[in-house]
A = this chain, B = another copy of it.
Amino acid sequence: MSENKTNISELGEFGLIDHLTSKFELKNRNSLLGVGDDAAVIDLSEEEAMLVSTDLLVEGIHFNLMYMPLKHLGYKAVAVNVSDICAMNGTAEQITVSLAVSSRFPLEALEELYEGIHLACAFYNVDLIGGDTTSSVSGLAINITVMGRAKKSEITYRSGAKEFDLLVVTGDLGAAYMGLQVLEREKEVFKANPSIQPDLDGHDYIIERQLKPEARKDIIGFLKELDVVPTSMIDISDGLASEILHICKSSKVGCHVYDEKIPIDAKTSMTAIDFNLDPGTCALNGGEDYELLFTIKQDDFDKIKGNPHMTVIGHITNEQDGVYFIDKNGSAITLRAQGWNHFD
């Protein structure tokens, strides 16, 4: 090892991955796409390709077992992987599950975790085909790799957005982040006085969005029914702003996003205001919504118009025009990501 010591937080998560994998080249003719999108692409046949993605969730970093029931954790670990396959416009089919657990977890705890995995596998029609189970020195970590399929002609990359395309988001944003704020607040109250019951009244929706997010597999079905193939797509794990910037960077385009168009549920807004937070900022930077963000040709607008699951929030511009957030007063602000950096 060299004598130089560079703190990994200096690069951030994406910079770190880019740095570590820059030397790697694809040599097998079946490896169609490697690192850099929601999933890798492997050649299957003239018509079809396999999509592969992997996600590692670590206790104390990605989840806190004080308020995350193990059954929910198992469900969420599958859902976030399925979401990556959805983001490529594909259908998830198989997963492998690797688990490291310390001996403080009894068998019954792992049964709860697998119960959640089982529920998610049933809901998303995914098969558990393999895994590895080992002990850990402390805590729990779960890695899931998901494999899916898509017609090659329908795969949506981050890189396909073109000038004048419309920017569309599914569902509503910011709820998972506000759910986390409520859970964190009640955790602090509980730590200060364990006899006080958590006050989660009226927060069912946002808490469920945090503890049991769903992959938008339904959207992939709707898009097929509507005969719309997005020009680009990504799932919203790190926050809307971060994902818009990913699409713009990969597609070499600019974008105008309109604050007033961003869909936010009333319960999310009310909770944000209670917490003295700006709902729009929560929606832009909150993360973990697992909604889909995609671009479509203007010609396809009529097909999605009025669809309750999809909202047009902006349009793609020339790369030189930059990426702008247009606030409610019509002022344009350069969009910046303030998403999650686990290395901070």
Contact = CB atoms under 8 A, between A and B. Distances in A.
A342 B56 contact: no
A98 B54 contact: yes
Interface stretch (A99-107, A155-163, A164-172, A293-301): A99-107
A135 B54 contact: no
Contact of A100 (B58, B94, B106, B133): B58
A96 B40 contact: yes
A20 interface: yes
A226 interface: no
Contacts of A110: 8, 16, 20
Given A1-B70, A145-B96, A61 B19 contact: no
A312 to B, nearest CB: 31
A127 B41 CA distance: 12
Interface in A93-130: 93-94, 96, 98-101, 103, 105-112, 114, 118, 121, 125-130
Given A26-B127, A130-B53, A8 B137 contact: no
A118 B147 CA distance: 23
Contacts of A40: 94, 96, 129-130
A4 interface: yes
B61 A24 contact: no
A52 interface: yes
Contact of A8 (B4, B101, B129): B101
Contacts of A19: 107
A103 B7 contact: yes
A98 B45 CA distance: 28
Contact of A44 (B20, B35, B44, B55): B44
Nearest to A109: B1
A276 interface: no
A289 B52 CA distance: 30
A176 to B, nearest CB: 18
A131 interface: yes
Contact of A1 (B56, B108, B133, B141): B108
Contacts of A34: 127-130
A135 B62 CA distance: 9
A129 B1 contact: no
Contacts of A127: 24-28, 31, 34
B93 A28 contact: yes
A6 interface: yes
A17 B125 contact: no
A76 interface: no
A25 B121 CA distance: 10
A93 B54 contact: no
Contacts of A133: 13, 16-17, 20
Interface of A: 1-2, 4-11, 13, 16-17, 19-21, 23-28, 30-31, 33-35, 39-40, 42, 44-45, 50, 52-56, 58-62, 70, 93-94, 96, 98-101, 103, 105-112, 114, 118, 121, 125-139, 141, 143, 145, 147, 149, 342-343
6 contacts: A8-B106, A9-B103, A52-B145, A56-B143, A61-B137, A62-B134
